[in-house]
A and B are shown apart, each in its own frame.
Chain A
Amino acid sequence: MIDRLEPFPKEEAELRAAFWEQVGSFPEGYKIKRCLQCGTCTGTCPVSYAMDITPRQAIALFRAGHIEDVLHSRTIWLCASCYSCTVRCPVGIRVTDTLYALKRIAMEQKIYPPKFPVHTLSRVFINNVYKYGRNYELGLGIRYFLSTNIVKLFTNIGYAWSMIRRGRLGLIPKKLKNINQMHAIIKKANEFGEG
């Protein structure tokens, strides 16, 4: 009989509230409650071997009241969005979308795994799209490596050159003609919060 559950510490309680709000904000997000802990998500994930916490463990940790540990893990930033877990889950949990929900909480609360600056890529990407309206691939790579691992900037030069030579890596970003229109949309949408 469970009659005396200890309340969650304040921080955990806030993160949980944010999490429930997030999983309520996309189709079938609520199915997370049905998790059987079968591990199909982990088994089918092509990158789970490199995760510190597997997708199944992430759900178990959340249930046990350790959502912050999940946010500190590399798991949500290692997901390559292949959706294997989502199509295989026997109870229909939208695992990939759930990881995105956790990403949004992590970005909002600025809780990141130590020495793993993948979230920087999202920030650089978003700034790029704001500036030009389109993704500027060369600029994205340069800025990301400049702020994370400058060595890789040099190890990738040869590859970049082979693409530039074939006209497959533009040196000049292409900008929308109507970039103001896009800024107006982003400004208005931002007023609705992180969502």
Chain B
Amino acid sequence: MLEYAYYPGCSLEHTASPYDKSIRAVFDALGIGLHEIEDWNCCGATMYMSVKKIVGYAISARNLAIAQNMGMQICVPCSSCYTILRKTNRHIAWDLKERAKINEALKAADLSYDTFVEVRHPLNILVTDVGLEFIASKVTNPLDGIKVAPYYGCQIVRPHGYFDDVDDPVKMDQLLSALGAEVVDYPTKVRCCGGMLMTTQEDVALALNLTLLEAAVDNNADMIATACPLCQMNLEAYQSKINKAFHQNFHMPIVYFSHLVGIALGLKPKAIGSDKLLIEPEKLNAKAREVSV
């Protein structure tokens, strides 16, 4: 049986709670063990390590140190946390002097970090570890007729492209195809949503998201599938602002890729949190209803 330590991250507790719910439900349905890291803390995000490096890496390493004691790889759904935790590993492996400093800081909390814990994204776990054939065999509610734009965002493929191509990743395309969905051509699949710029420089972020929505409409997508809390929030919660600012009329549901997996596996919207989306993915929910009839 596959087992992973689970690091939800702060967003998945609140704004991205539908993501959290769906990952847990989907992993459970596939018989994969997820064990939440006890009392995990914020990974520090880009904001911490870009202004205070050693402290940023040290608090990030606290999570890795606890996971190390669990003896499992870590499953990290948030793209930003994923990148930060991987970066922490890379930095500690590269800079031995700082590794010693970080370990000294961890020692203040009776922790140490010396075995490198592999940080994994659930998208990669599903496609590589679980396998597309196995997932396809578990599909009870194929998503045929649903056209999805696969939006990867930046940080699961960049800067290092650990599990997919930095320019043209395909893992989400493959996963969604295995569920029976029609994956549309989506040339902006790795274009930036602006991230935190929605808070700090709204006009710039709105323009970036306009491009993403336009590309989905141009390719006749019914919905956009994301793998990142910030991408999802920017595209969904600010869609009405985009409509207003650019005189558009978008009504594009923004789901997490795990919602599509959940519905295909026969789970209900309530069980995977897709009922908490601001823009209802009507076509997807209709699929779920078909089964229950």
**Residues of chain A having any CB pair with chain B under 8 Å:** 25-27, 46-47, 50, 77-78, 80-84, 86-87, 94, 96, 99-100, 103-104, 107, 118-119, 121-122, 125-126, 129, 133-138, 141, 144, 152, 159, 162-163, 166-170, 174, 176-178, 181-182, 184-190, 192-195
Contacting pair B154 A82 (CB below 8 A)? yes
Contact B39 A178 (CB under 8 A): yes
A174 to B195, CA, bound (A): 23
Whether, in the assembled complex, B270 has its beta carbon less than 8 Å from a beta carbon of chain A, the answer is no
Q: Which residues of B contact A (CB under 8 A)?
A: 10-11, 13-18, 39, 41-42, 44-55, 58-59, 62, 90-91, 94-95, 98, 101-102, 104-111, 154-155, 158-159, 161, 166-167, 191-192, 194-197, 199-205, 208, 237-238, 241, 276-278
A184 near B109: Cβ-Cβ < 8 Å: yes
Which residues of chain A are within 8 angstroms of B167 by Cβ–Cβ distance? 87
B61 CB to nearest chain A CB (Å): 8
Considering only CB atoms, which chain B residue lies closest to A152 in the complex? B202
Residues of chain B with a CB closer than 8 A to A163's CB: 15, 237, 278
CB-based contact A134/B10 at 8 Å: yes
Selected from B14, B101, B194, B237, the residue in CB contact (under 8 A) with A192 is B101
- Residue pair A122, B109 in contact (C-beta under 8 Å): no
- B55 and A189 within 8 A (CB): yes
Residues of chain A lying within 8 A (CB to CB) of residue B276:
166-168
Q: Evaluate contact between B154 and A126: CB separation under 8 angstroms.
A: no
In the complex, the answer to whether B101 meets A185 with C-beta atoms within 8 Å is no
B191 touches A46 (CB 8 A): yes
CB of B196 within 8 A of CB of A121, answer: yes
B158 and A168 contacting across the interface, CB-CB below 8 Å: no
Complex interface: chain A residues within 8 A of B52 (CB): 104, 126, 194-195
Known: A122-B47, A122-B51, A188-B108. A129 touches B42 (CB 8 A): yes
Residues A187 and B108 in contact, CB atoms below 8 Å apart: yes
Provide the residues of chain B in CB contact with A133, threshold 8 Å. 41-42
Q: B48 near A126 (CB under 8 angstroms)?
A: yes
Give 7 closest A-B pairs by Cβ, nearest first: A195-B54, A83-B158, A82-B192, A100-B50, A135-B10, A189-B105, A82-B154
A27 touches which of B53, B54, B91 (Cβ 8 Å): B91
State whether B15 touches A168 (Cβ < 8 A): yes
User: Do B42 and A144 have beta carbons less than 8 Å apart?
Assistant: no
Least Cβ distance of A104 to chain B in Å?
6
* Min C-beta distance of B36 to chain A, whole Å: 13
* Complex Cα–Cα for A178 and B111 (A): 13
Closest to A117 in B: B200
B41 touches A83 (CB 8 A): no
A99 to B196, CA, bound (A): 16
- Residues of B within 8 Å of A103, CB to CB, are 50-51
Q: Which residues of B contact A50 (CB under 8 A)?
A: 201, 203-204
Measured in the bound complex, the distance between the Cα atoms of B230 and A135 in whole Å is 14
Residues of B within 8 A of A193 (CB): 54
Please state if A182 and B59 are interface contacts (CB–CB under 8 Å).
Answer: yes
Q: In the complex, what distance in Å separates the CA atom of A133 from the CA atom of B108?
A: 16
* A189 CB to nearest B CB, Å: 4
Min CB distance B125 to A, Å, is 22
